[in-house]
Structure 1
Amino acid sequence: MRKVKAPDIKIALEELKIALTYKNGAFKYELELEEEKKLEVIYKEYEDLKGVANDKFKSDILKSATNDAIYNAYDETQENNRLYSLRSRILLSVTRCPYCGISDADELDHHLPRSIYKAIAVYVSNLIPLCHKCNNKKRTITGEKIEERFTHVYFDEFPDSPLLLADITINDDALSVKFKINEVGISELRFKQLSFQIGRINLNGRLVKECNVYLSSIASMIEDAYGDNNTDKLKELLISQHDTNKRIFGINDWRTVFLFSLANCEDFCGGGFKAILNKLYPQ
């Protein structure tokens, strides 16, 4: 869960025109000057409203044929098509998916679905880099229900304090981790939206395996730090790793949150990790 640097919008209309022409310069669909001006207004309103769903983006002020042409023009962002450079530029702006932080961001998502908001189907600020699983889970979310809006990774601001928390317990020599949204420092509405978001993408279910894999990657460091019952040294290691991940991935990346919670789990740092690691990777 993190914010992404917004893409350059200066050539948004020109990119749309490219998508509406063939390589030889012939028009697939030619925009009228009056409609170009209307699109510029729509793009500006999208920026002003920071991508929050609004009927203005349904483009009733454009001709039906124009809406359909723009809707179909998005296909030009696919590999080897006219706007593939736009797709590459957006995907290269991040590594992992900004929603889950688990998988590579290898797909584009319409923050507001193009089936409803056709006029912004090719507008760069409405195109979000994310992974296949998050894209599939978000696909049917329209953004019209205020409590069921995904964060806009270009526009939404996050506080400096952690938004994502993890509750850790040890049961039957197994680590149980439950991620949740921190209510402190955010509005009730934002809390509901973020809670809906992590539930929708099944963050907890997907992170069960990831936490165990990550734990195995630092197992030797944990064992060396703990040595002969040195709980404090183990906590120092986990906090140090947390600080490093915070700089690299951000304060609300699941790995950062996971490490902080491990460092504050007395059972884990008191030697409970041994049984967990042994159960994960029996000798």
Structure 2
Amino acid sequence: MWLLPAQELGDVDQALDTALTYVNGVAIYALSHAERAAIHAVYQLYDALAGQPHADLTPAILNTARSPLYAAYDQVQIGGRLAKLRERILASTNQCPYCGFGEPRDLDHYLPRSAFGELAIYPRNLIPSCSPCNNAKRTVVPGLEPASGPSLIHAYFQELPNVEFLRADVTFEEGTLQVQYRVDGGGLDPVLTTKLQFQLDRLKLNDRYKGQINKFLSEQRAAMLMFREIDAVLFGEYLMRCANSLGESFGRNDWRPALLRALAANSDFCSSPADYLGT
């Protein structure tokens, strides 16, 4: 959850030529040497800016080429001339980095192509995501105007401190386990805290996690109850070890280890997990 390794770029010029040329060899749009150099410069600047918006990402020299570059994304879709690029990006992870559980089926333009057509087929502007996250994030245009508010973090470029910031608050109400996730800003930059919490809220993750939590705890139920029966004293430590193990696989700020940490710290749960999990 949250981060992914940056995409390999491959042959940028070949991708541009493939996207802007019909299969019969006729050019849809013939880039000039100056335009091609400008695209390379935009790509390099995008990386240097860690994917954040800037006026220099839409240089005037690309005003004419912007529209065909925008349309070139159609060739990244299934059946398009750049379909292998789509396949490669989607195959780079088996879970959506925005939510941590959805199957990646879409490519999200971190900077929307409606405003940054130059970046329509740039691999590092394309984030593999599940459809619910992509649809929820779609209208977020980071930094274009003050009213746009915070943005989601960039899965390829965001640096996250090595601290546990995702917290799960657990309660037991009317016989049902209730879990609410939040971002603990202690030790985090305030701007980063705002972006992380905005991501949780914008993607409605607390609502969407409910089904995943029930499924996850159902899978863990037998092992939890068995260990609690064998050694009640060390049950909390067992939960923490499970949390640490999952943290190594998914990241310490994934929703699963955060949930187990919260359960380990909950004395009522540790005293009688069967009340929460069912007998």
TM-score normalised per structure 2: 0.94
Q: Deviations over 1:146-189 (max 9, x none)?
A: 74111111101111111211111222221111101120221111
- 1:239 Cα deviation (Å)? 1.7
**Counterpart Cα distance in 2 of 1:55 and 1:13:** 23
Which residue in the other structure is 1:67 paired with? Answer: 66
Which residue in the other structure is 2:236 paired with? Answer: 235
Which residue in the other structure is 2:142 paired with? Answer: 143
**Counterpart Cα distance in 2 of 1:137 and 1:55:** 25
1:59–1:118 Cα contact (<8 Å) kept: no
**Counterpart Cα distance in 1 of 2:54 and 2:12:** 20
Q: Deviations over 1:95-125 (max 9, x none)?
A: 1000101211121000000001111111111
Which residue in the other structure is 2:2 paired with? Answer: 2
Q: How does 1:59-138 map to 2 (within 5 A)?
A: 59-64=59-64, 66-138=65-137
Which residue in the other structure is 1:274 paired with? Answer: 274
Indicate the SS of the match to 1:50: coil
Which residue in the other structure is 1:191 paired with? Answer: 193
Aligned residue pairs total 276
What are the ranges of 5 or more consecutive residues in structure 2 without an aligned counterpart? none
Q: Deviations over 1:44-73 (max 9, x none)?
A: 111111110112223433133x11100000
**Counterpart Cα distance in 2 of 1:111 and 1:63:** 21
Indicate the SS of the match to 2:60: coil
Letter in 2 for 1:167: D
**Counterpart Cα distance in 2 of 1:59 and 1:129:** 27
Which residue in the other structure is 2:178 paired with? Answer: 176
Of 39-48 and 10-19, the range deviating more from structure 2: 10-19
Indicate the SS of the match to 1:178: strand
**Counterpart Cα distance in 2 of 1:263 and 1:16:** 52
**Counterpart Cα distance in 2 of 1:59 and 1:118:** 11
**1:49 matches 2:30:** no
**1:249 matches 2:261:** no
Letter in 2 for 1:55: A
Letter in 2 for 1:165: R
Q: Deviations over 1:12-35 (max 9, x none)?
A: 232122111122322121111110
**Counterpart Cα distance in 1 of 2:107 and 2:190:** 29
**Counterpart Cα distance in 2 of 1:55 and 1:197:** 24
Q: CA RMSD in A?
A: 1.6
Which residue in the other structure is 2:228 paired with? Answer: 226
Q: Percent identity among equivalent residues?
A: 34
Indicate the SS of the match to 1:99: coil
**Counterpart Cα distance in 2 of 1:232 and 1:88:** 49
Q: Deviations over 1:214-243 (max 9, x none)?
A: 111111111111117x43332232122212
**Counterpart Cα distance in 1 of 2:81 and 2:97:** 26
What are the ranges of 5 or more consecutive residues in structure 1 without an aligned counterpart? none
1:108–1:128 Cα contact (<8 Å) kept: yes
1:107–1:129 Cα contact (<8 Å) kept: yes
TM-score normalised per structure 1: 0.93
Letter in 2 for 1:143: P
Which residue in the other structure is 2:38 paired with? Answer: 38
Letter in 2 for 1:242: A
